[in-house]
Amino acid sequence: MLTMYGKELIGYLSILVTLFGYTHYFVSIFKGRTKPHAFSWMIWGFLVSVAFYAQYINKAGPGAWATGFVAVICIAVAIIAMFRGEKDIKKSDWISFICALTIIPVWYLTEDPLPALVIAMLIDMFGYYPTFRKSYYKPYEETIVAYVTGILQVSLSLSAMEHYSLVNITYPVFVMFINTSFVLMVVYRRGKANVAI
């Protein structure tokens, strides 16, 4: 069993891992290799901010620190993506974005935290769609380092939680699953692209 001091150390480590992953991501954007999809990052910025608030009020302690840090980063990436991100916005991206936005009021009105969390994960899946679609066809326009470090960061954040509850752990486990799925898809598509060359 970790002491509070140990959990704080893991909380700081999760922030460092996040900083490493996203520093690489920002460098890749400004070098023109990564083209983030603004729709995904807007939705993620909103949802991760809400997840941080939910963890904070549910006494997640150091386990919530990196979540708050990621919320700020997602909002920053969304703003940058408007200028340096994916410009080929498809009709399906708009549909996904609008679906996510229309679910948000339902989520907001849900008073029970667990159903609200399930709705938040549904919104998150809509948020992932534009990035999944773009990366399926352009697997080299998204760096996977941020997603891999995101998996590590969420694992560390779970270890650093001060209070474990279904509300505190469900969303991080979902993020680990979706990030892992995304990384595997990009690696697979890059392998296919190399075979085709």
State pLDDT tens for residues 83-96. 998 878 888 888 88
- Mean pLDDT, residues 105-122: 75
Q: pTM for the full model?
A: 0.76
d(CA 58, CA 52) in angstroms, rounded, equals 10
Residue 178 in tokens: 């979706």
| 86 Cβ contact partners less than 8 Å away, ≥ 6 residues apart | 35, 36, 37, 38, 130, 134, 141
Per-residue pLDDT at 159: 81
Tell me if 139 sits within 8 A of 132, measured CB to CB.
no
Residue 108: how many other CB atoms lie within 10 Å: 11
Q: Write out pLDDT tens, residues 12-58.
A: 888 888 888 889 899 999 999 999 988 889 888 888 887 787 777 77
Q: Is the dihedral of CA 157, 15, 143, 32 positive or negative?
A: positive
- Band (pLDDT 50/70/90 cuts) for residue 1 is low
